[in-house]
């Protein structure tokens, strides 16, 4: 573990930019801390934090000048690697026939500054979905291959965070190039620095860093321990897939569906949700066509449309699909949970539906037990 | 459309409306020539005084039915049209003029007009689909130009239009907007409103006004409950749902639930 002073972070941003990376990090926009281009530490949200709860987000002042004193942004890094819409190909018909032209893949070099531990885990999950199965999503793979990951460990947890339950945080243990931990102590403002890859080492070698002393090491560990003790939510994952799949007719699904707007915000903000649909359009003359791929969601009726209609025509079946996919069937499909505990689906649900509360309610009134006992 | 000698005949009809949706077609500057190339514009009073006799392959109908004469006229147009598509909030939901459906029209007429006996109007403003079968309803106040082109293109190519029926929230998230409801506490109809505008208002930090009417499986009661929790009074909620799509079923029921004081109990959302 090494140590860099606050000003050295500015140099890190400059070094990455010099290496050709567009640095993306936390910035203040529309009264929220959102990911966007960062040119130096003056663009970072010094002294700001986010207050998060079910259906609730507010930007708040901190009583210090921390640069990373917030939790996670409204939209995840997925927006850069799996963009909301992408053109797949264009086709043209003329006298010589049909000409197909695959759309060029934009894979800019980008450095993500401020990735949280849960977000690194979400990235690993999307990597698996898009690149580790029998079919590789090449545009994703290319974009993914050009990023540099600067993790920043959480020194505080948010009101909707539950990474401790999901074993995905708050300290980044792998999956980064560099990992920082921000420490404000007395008058001093510094970061501990850990290297996670060769690419990270090559950048770290050019920083003016010192070996972390015992106190600095302890302060770094204490920061993430404090965050771990502060989780706004928790989720009991013990036998969770079996619990949910054994309760598919639980009355709680109807209750949550009474409140659910099937607006799909939860799936859009979730850093692991990967669904998209493909749309073709042609011009009036029928000579030019475009195929586009856009984010889709299991909350949409058309998502489960087959000949004859939508299989999940009711909101109850759609909410159940979302939650059982995240917490249960994902295990069968990919061997992990589909949830990393980032809390976005809770915060950004307009009516504050809470996946941890729904799971707990089903656990408290497990119908399997009732069937067995009764 | 190979194999078909004559170009399909398109007619545009106006009922009670502001003309804004028809003008959206004229506003499709880039595509207008292509439209004219693909279809024969047989009747379009807003664009040209020339008109061709029916029958028509595709009729675009703007506006709502507010007079006995119009109620007869739409039946005649339906008879003359192979496909009939309604365009805009007036034609698909009765429009802003459907506010009369919640009031006493005779009282308005006698207050506003010097000689009320000359006024021949219905007590309601109703969507075209309440009068005749409609092949496709294109929503919006006004409609989106690109969706209109999509509907015409789909018709010309003999396929269904690809017009999503999900929420405005999805367009909002894809556009990278910040949710004004969650982050600012601004009331927003986006979660119950049909996509189509590209989340225009949230992009400017305003709540959605519901111009495109209810989305598929809308849950307005749950949204009302949340908005009440954010501090909206019942009269404010009534006004929120009563704009361009006041008569659309989900919005109408949501406003009526709050008007008659029989709003669900004080069950506060979290
Ligand atoms: S759970 Fe919340 S965010 Fe998700 S679809 Fe339902 S209302 Fe929308
Ligand atoms: S399900 Fe919710 S808490 Fe879990 S990763 Fe997705 S957005 Fe985050
Ligand atoms: S929860 Fe729904 S949107 Fe998300 S990955 Fe699963 S099926 Fe797709
Ligand atoms: S601002 Fe409105 S439309 Fe956009 S996500 Fe929030 S509730 Fe939905």
pLDDT in tens, A44-91: 999 999 999 999 999 999 999 999 999 999 999 999 999 999 999 999
- How far does CA A150 lie from the centroid of its chain? 15
Pairwise CA distance, residues B60 & A231, whole Å: 56
Question: Do A267 and A306 fall within a single domain?
Answer: yes
**A289 within a domain of the structure (yes/no):** no
User: What token pair was written down for B48?
Assistant: 């040209």
Listed residues A168, A200, A228: the one ending a domain: A228
List, for residues A11-38, the tens digit of each pLDDT value. 999 999 999 999 999 999 999 999 999 9
- CB-closest option in A31, A263, A280 to B169: A263
pLDDT for B269: 41
Pairwise CA distance, residues A319 & A353, whole Å: 10
**A291 within a domain of the structure (yes/no):** no
Least Cα distance to A67 among A46, A51, A48 occurs for A46
CB hemisphere CA count around A345 (13 angstroms): 26
Listed residues A208, A228, A248: the one ending a domain: A228
B41 interaction partners in chain A (CB closer than 8 Å): none
Pairwise CA distance, residues A152 & A137, whole Å: 28
Domains of chain B: residue spans and CATH: 9-156 (3.40.50.700), 168-259 (no CATH)
Question: Do A55 and A152 fall within a single domain?
Answer: yes
* Nearest CA distance, A285 vs chain B (angstrom): 7
User: What token pair was written down for B175?
Assistant: 């556009």
**Number of the ligand closest to the Cα of A261:** 1
List, for residues B201-257, the tens digit of each pLDDT value. 999 999 999 999 999 999 999 999 999 999 999 999 999 999 999 999 999 999 999
Neighbours of A353 (CB within 10 A): 25
List, for residues B30-78, the tens digit of each pLDDT value. 888 888 889 998 888 777 776 778 899 999 999 999 999 999 999 999 9
Q: Is the confidence at residue B1, as pLDDT, over 70? A: no
- Number of folded domains in chain A? 2
Mark yes or no for CB contact B178/A30 under 8 Å: yes
Pairwise CA distance, residues A236 & A253, whole Å: 18
Are A89 and A103 in contact by the 8 Å Cβ rule? The answer is yes
Question: Do A6 and A135 fall within a single domain?
Answer: yes
A73 interaction partners in chain B (CB closer than 8 Å): none
Compute, in angstroms, the gap from residue B215 CA to the centroid of ligand 4.
13
Strand locations in A95-232 (E): 97-102, 110-115, 147-152, 178-185, 188-195, 210-211
Question: Do A77 and A156 fall within a single domain?
Answer: yes
Tell how many helices (H) and how many strands (E) occur in chain B.
12, 5
Least Cα distance to A190 among A167, A156, A166, A213 occurs for A213
Question: Do A168 and A69 fall within a single domain?
Answer: yes
Give the strand pairing for A147-152 and A110-115. Answer: parallel
List, for residues B139-169, the tens digit of each pLDDT value. 999 999 999 999 999 999 999 999 999 999 9
Q: What is the mean pLDDT of residues A124-134?
A: 96
Question: Do A111 and A153 fall within a single domain?
Answer: yes
Mark yes or no for CB contact B178/A34 under 8 Å: yes
Residue nearest to atom 2 of ligand 2 (CA): A345
Listed residues A228, A249, A265: the one ending a domain: A228
Q: What is the three-class DSSP state of B224?
A: helix
* Nearest CA distance, A221 vs chain B (angstrom): 32
Question: Do A209 and A303 fall within a single domain?
Answer: no
Are B195 and B170 in contact by the 8 Å Cβ rule? The answer is yes
**A287 within a domain of the structure (yes/no):** no
pLDDT for A311: 86
Are A177 and A200 in contact by the 8 Å Cβ rule? The answer is yes
- Output the CA torsion sign for A276, A277, A282, A284: negative
Mark yes or no for CB contact A31/B183 under 8 Å: yes
Question: Do A7 and A60 fall within a single domain?
Answer: yes
Mark yes or no for CB contact A32/B178 under 8 Å: yes
pLDDT for A369: 67
Pairwise CA distance, residues B221 & B255, whole Å: 9
* Nearest CA distance, A167 vs chain B (angstrom): 27
Cross-strand partners of A90: A101, A290
**A215 within a domain of the structure (yes/no):** yes
Pairwise CA distance, residues B173 & B199, whole Å: 9
Q: How far apart are the first and last CA of chain B?
A: 56
Neighbours of B206 (CB within 10 A): 14
Pairwise CA distance, residues A7 & A41, whole Å: 8
Four-point Cα dihedral A342, A348, A353, A356, nearest 10: 0
Residue A339 beta carbon below 6 angstroms from any ligand 3 atom: no
Residue A351 beta carbon below 6 angstroms from any ligand 1 atom: yes
Are B249 and B240 in contact by the 8 Å Cβ rule? The answer is no
**A113 within a domain of the structure (yes/no):** yes
Cross-strand partners of B206: none
N residues, chain A: 374
- CB-closest option in A56, A79, A285 to B176: A79
CB hemisphere CA count around A352 (13 angstroms): 20
Best residue of A52, A83, A258, A265 to probe chain B, by most B CBs closer than 10 Å? A265
Mean pLDDT of all residues belonging to chain A: 96
Question: Do A60 and A8 fall within a single domain?
Answer: yes
Question: Do A222 and A259 fall within a single domain?
Answer: no
Print the domain residue range for A35: 2-83+105-228
Pairwise CA distance, residues B34 & B17, whole Å: 26
Least Cα distance to A274 among A304, A301, A297 occurs for A297
Q: Which atom of ligand 2 is nearest to the CA of A273?
A: 6
- CB-closest option in B157, B175, B222 to A259: B222
List, for residues A252-281, the tens digit of each pLDDT value. 999 999 999 999 999 999 999 999 999 999
Residue A277 beta carbon below 6 angstroms from any ligand 3 atom: no
**A152 within a domain of the structure (yes/no):** yes
Question: Do A165 and A249 fall within a single domain?
Answer: no
Question: Do A156 and A57 fall within a single domain?
Answer: yes
Q: What is the three-class DSSP state of A299?
A: coil
């Amino acid at each position: 573990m090494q140590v860099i002073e606050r000003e050295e972070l500015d140099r890190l941003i400059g070094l990455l930019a010099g290496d050709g990376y567009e640095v993306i990090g936390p910035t203040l926009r529309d009264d929220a801390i959102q990911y966007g281009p960062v040119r130096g530490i003056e663009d970072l949200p010094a002294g700001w934090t986010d207050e998060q709860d079910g259906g609730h987000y507010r930007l708040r002042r901190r009583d210090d000048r921390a640069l990373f004193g917030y939790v996670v942004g409204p939209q995840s890094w997925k927006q850069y690697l799996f963009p909301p819409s992408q053109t797949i190909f264009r086709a043209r018909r003329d006298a010589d026939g049909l000409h197909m032209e695959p759309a060029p893949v934009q894979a800019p070099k980008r450095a993500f500054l401020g990735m949280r531990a849960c977000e690194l885990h979400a990235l690993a999950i999307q990597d698996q979905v898009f690149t580790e199965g029998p079919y590789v999503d090449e545009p994703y793979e290319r974009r993914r291959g050009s990023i540099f990951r600067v993790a920043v460990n959480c020194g505080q947890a948010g009101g909707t965070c539950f990474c401790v339950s999901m074993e995905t945080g708050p300290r980044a243990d792998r999956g980064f190039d560099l990992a920082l931990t921000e420490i404000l102590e007395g008058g001093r403002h510094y970061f501990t620095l850990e290297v996670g890859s060769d690419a990270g080492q090559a950048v770290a070698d050019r920083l003016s860093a010192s070996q972390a002393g015992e106190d600095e090491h302890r302060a770094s560990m204490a920061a993430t321990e404090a965050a771990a003790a502060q989780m706004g939510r928790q989720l009991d994952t013990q036998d969770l897939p079996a619990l949910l799949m054994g309760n598919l007719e639980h009355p709680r699904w109807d209750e949550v569906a009474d409140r659910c707007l099937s607006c799909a915000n939860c799936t859009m903000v979730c850093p692991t949700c990967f669904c998209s649909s493909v749309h073709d359009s042609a011009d009036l003359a029928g000579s030019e066509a475009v195929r586009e791929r856009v984010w889709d969601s299991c909350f949409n009726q058309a998502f489960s449309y087959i000949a004859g209609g939508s299989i999940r025509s009711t909101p109850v079946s759609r909410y159940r699909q979302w939650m059982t996919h995240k917490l249960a069937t994902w295990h069968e499909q990919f061997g992990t949970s589909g949830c990393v505990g980032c809390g976005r689906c809770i915060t950004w649900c307009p009516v504050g539906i809470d996946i941890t509360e729904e799971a707990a309610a089903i656990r408290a009134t497990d119908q399997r037990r009732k069937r067995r006992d009764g | 459309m190979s194999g078909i000698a004559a170009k399909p005949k398109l007619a545009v009809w106006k009922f009670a409306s502001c003309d804004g949706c028809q003008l959206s077609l004229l506003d499709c500057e880039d595509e207008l020539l292509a439209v004219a190339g693909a279809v024969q514009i047989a009747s379009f009073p807003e664009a040209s005084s020339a008109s061709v006799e029916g029958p028509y392959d595709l009729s675009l109908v703007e506006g709502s039915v507010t007079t006995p004469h119009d109620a007869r006229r739409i039946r005649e147009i339906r008879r003359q049209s192979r496909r009939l598509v309604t365009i805009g909030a007036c034609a698909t939901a009765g429009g802003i003029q459907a506010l009369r459906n919640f009031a006493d029209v005779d009282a308005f007429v006698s207050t506003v007009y010097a000689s009320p006996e000359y006024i021949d109007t219905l007590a309601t403003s109703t969507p075209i689909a309440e009068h005749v079968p409609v092949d496709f309803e294109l929503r919006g106040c006004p409609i989106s130009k690109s969706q209109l082109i999509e509907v015409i293109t789909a018709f010309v190519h003999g396929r269904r239009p690809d017009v999503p029926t999900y929420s405005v929230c999805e367009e909002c998230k894809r556009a990278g907007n910040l949710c004004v409801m969650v982050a600012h506490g601004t009331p927003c109809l986006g979660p119950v409103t049909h996509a189509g505008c590209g989340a225009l208002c949230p992009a400017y930090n305003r709540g959605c006004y519901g111009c495109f009417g209810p989305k598929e499986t809308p849950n307005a009661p749950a949204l009302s409950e949340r908005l009440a929790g954010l501090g909206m009074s019942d009269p404010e909620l009534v006004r929120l749902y009563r704009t361009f799509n006041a008569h659309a079923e989900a919005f109408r029921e949501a406003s009526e639930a709050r008007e008659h004081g029989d709003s669900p109990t004080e069950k506060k959302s979290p």
